[in-house]
Structure 1
Amino acid sequence: MEPSKNIKRCCLLQVMILVGIQVINLFTRPAKFAMGIVSIIILGAYLAGEYLSLPETIRKVNTIVQILFQPFAFSYTAGTLLTLVTPFKFAPLVAFCILIWYAVSFLLYVQQFIAPITNNWLRLFWLIYFFQIAISPSAYFGIIASTNPWFGAFFSTGLIGAVAYTISLIRAMQAWHFGDLISLIKSHSKGNVLVDSVFAILVVLFIYSNLMNTTSWGKLSFLRFWRLLLGAMEAGIGEEVLCRFGILTLLLSFAKKLRLRIPIAIICSSLLFGLFHFLNLTEQSLPLTIYQFCFTAVSGIFFSLLFLYSGHLELVVFIHFVMDLLSYSATGNSSLSGNITLGDYQSVINLAVLMLALLVWMMFGKKRQVMENHVDLLVSKGNIKK
């Protein structure tokens, strides 16, 4: 699928503006000279590919470079803009507009470079790789905060990155002709009282498991709670869009012809969900991270079943958000602390047995048919070239 001329023209205009911003950055922030030069090289390579007659091999290499590094240049440019406007009195209003722009800035990039990808393995690689860039723009912005600590908290969390990733991934899935979330919501049949009750009980169980050290809640300042709230929203939106909508859908497409496609895709996506939390090793110890891997992998089974049965990703996002907010508020931090005991692992093992039992139970009768119908909506139109 070749992008239209209008899309290319819009991309060219956007990239030329970004280059101009980085040129200004070179003169105003000498300490960030190297980062500015890298961004200009990446964006300049794109302009060269569009305006110059380059050999086919170089054009292909340039396309790969743009797929991998153009999102980084976009993130760093947004950070540059935020830094440039911070000293001015109108900074909050302008910064808010920049954050909105950041949320939609990747759409042209997706349309031109990501939509034409037909190999599902490459698609899977991209959505995981792009998540790491888009979800945490503050890492590339190089910004501490603004003069307003409440607004500055927006810069130190990945919430706006999670929104940007969600918008981009939804557009990519549409371009790849996979099912959309609205179709799932509209297709849901009348709920089964028993199944709904089981899920409701399990939601309460998961929420209860995150209610630890409740006596520390009163020690949180309003600003600290605001930061934790933003962090929980980031995790709820970003992780569920990535793991339940993106990865789970692609894995279901891989296993489309297998009779056990649903349990295979659920278990594999849940393991990936758990593995992603090893990135937290920079903030917490290895034993705590291993425990977090076990818990999140097990909870991933529940989230996947709830999504495929209900057809409501927003429901799963909300539950994930509430769980994390309660956990963060109870400990006062988004990372784990303390020591892991044998009892903690026993609880995870019990939960794993319960989730596997739920997975087996959901594979029979009308429950399975409801999920099969939703899976068909997600993957039946997808291009499954491998």
Structure 2
Amino acid sequence: MKEKKNNYLAINKTSVSIKWLTIASLVYLLIYTEAGDIVTAFSELWAPILYLVIVCFLALGAKIFYKTDRVFIKLPKEGKVKILTIIFCIMLMALYFLMNLIASWAQVFNLMPEMMWSSICVALAAGIGEEFLCRVTLFNLFTKIFENKQYVLLWSSIFSSVLFGLFHLINLGHGAQLDATFQQVYYATAIGLAFSYLHIFTNRIWPCILMHFLLDLQPNIANMNAEASSWGPILIIFGIVIIVSIICIYAFNKRVNKVEN
């Protein structure tokens, strides 16, 4: 017997096929990855600003194409999952504290004005561009693929987050260290799952953009000079993020199935 379609998903507002959703995702990815090279002909002052403008138009185009940037047509009540959400929020704040991001933000605002605005523009472009790529275009693609599955939100979150992590392999082409890049793949997958749950329980994309922007707001964001760290803390800290995020997504999906079906 055919499984019941999850009609509470916002992506059901569009009748675009999986084939065209896949093409749209690939086009978005191509334009986003090439945008940085397109603006290199401009001065160091204007290039980051133009890059941000291109990404904003790209995100707007994605929202128009998909007709939504939300997960649900109407956000279901959390019920007992609210307790898990509180734990998740505490974990996310603790993660940002452990990553010493406040010190990174202070360093950005102590840079020369041109370098400061460059870091802000690139971090904001990354927040907008990558969240619309992974939490909107890819997430919606996978919700279409798994729309008849019981745990569509969980599977869509996992697949879109793994791809989000793998996309960071492109940094190898920009001279990034091999070990540092593999670490980025791992913790970006974890962050992707966390942001997926943030998108799910808020039913808004802007909190994900804001958190992504704050995560990337670092002095070296414009030149990708990431350095490898010790694997031990990274495996433990982001392993916890993966486990907690998956549990939260699963519980919310189970709650939605109970309420909507």
Residue 260 of structure 2 corresponds to residue 368 of structure 1: no
1:335 Cα deviation after fit: 1.5
1:131 Cα deviation after fit: 2.8
Report if aligned partners of 1:228, 1:334 keep a CA contact under 8 Å in 2.
no
Change (3 A) 1:236 1:375: farther
1:371 Cα deviation after fit: 5.1
Residue 211 of structure 2 corresponds to residue 211 of structure 1: no
**What corresponds to 1:225 in structure 2?**
116
Question: Greater Rg, structure 1 or structure 2?
Answer: 1
Q: State the alpha-carbon separation in 2 of the partners of residues 237 and 304 from structure 1.
A: 14
**What corresponds to 2:66 in structure 1?**
173
Q: State the alpha-carbon separation in 1 of the partners of residues 21 and 249 from structure 2.
A: 29
State the AA in 1 paired with 2:29: F
Residue 224 of structure 2 corresponds to residue 335 of structure 1: yes
SS in 2 for 1:363: helix
State the AA in 2 paired with 1:355: I
SS in 1 for 2:166: helix
Structure 1 segment 226-375 matched on structure 2, within 5 A: 226-281=117-172, 282-325=174-217, 328-329=218-219, 331=220, 333-343=222-232, 346-364=233-251, 367-368=252-253
Change (3 A) 1:362 1:243: closer
* Counterpart pick for 1:124 among 22, 40, 44: 22
1:245 Cα deviation after fit: 1.1
Map Cα deviations across residues 155-177 of structure 1 (whole Å, 9 max, x no partner): 4xx31121111111112113xxx
Change (3 A) 1:118 1:249: closer
Query: Root-mean-square deviation (CA), in Å?
Result: 3.3
SS in 2 for 1:284: coil
1:142 Cα deviation after fit: 5.5
* Counterpart pick for 2:87 among 178, 191, 198: 198
Change (3 A) 1:117 1:354: closer
Report if aligned partners of 2:168, 2:184 keep a CA contact under 8 Å in 1.
yes
Map Cα deviations across residues 299-321 of structure 1 (whole Å, 9 max, x no partner): 11111111112201111111111
1:185 Cα deviation after fit: 8.0
Report if aligned partners of 2:146, 2:152 keep a CA contact under 8 Å in 1.
yes
Change (3 A) 1:253 1:185: closer
Change (3 A) 1:169 1:371: farther
1:291 Cα deviation after fit: 0.6
Map Cα deviations across residues 41-83 of structure 1 (whole Å, 9 max, x no partner): xxxxxxxxxxxxxxxxxxxxxxxxxxxxxxxxxxxxxxxxxxx
* Counterpart pick for 1:154 among 49, 59, 63: 49
1:263 Cα deviation after fit: 1.9
Q: How many residues align?
A: 244
Change (3 A) 1:375 1:338: farther
Change (3 A) 1:263 1:183: closer
**What corresponds to 1:381 in structure 2?**
none
State the AA in 1 paired with 2:21: R
Map Cα deviations across residues 180-202 of structure 1 (whole Å, 9 max, x no partner): 24784864547865244223212
Report if aligned partners of 1:309, 1:374 keep a CA contact under 8 Å in 2.
no
Q: Looking at both structures, which has the greater relative contact order when contacts are Cα pairs under 8 Å and sequence separation is at least 6?
A: 2
1:340 Cα deviation after fit: 2.9
Report if aligned partners of 1:134, 1:162 keep a CA contact under 8 Å in 2.
yes
Identity across aligned pairs (percent)?
18
Change (3 A) 1:190 1:262: closer
Report if aligned partners of 2:101, 2:215 keep a CA contact under 8 Å in 1.
no
Report if aligned partners of 1:184, 1:312 keep a CA contact under 8 Å in 2.
no
Structure 1 segment 79-118 matched on structure 2, within 5 A: 118=16
Moved more, 333-342 or 271-280: 333-342
State the AA in 1 paired with 2:253: R
Q: State the alpha-carbon separation in 1 of the partners of residues 127 and 41 from structure 2.
A: 24
Q: State the alpha-carbon separation in 1 of the partners of residues 41 and 259 from structure 2.
A: 42
Q: State the alpha-carbon separation in 2 of the partners of residues 165 and 310 from structure 1.
A: 23
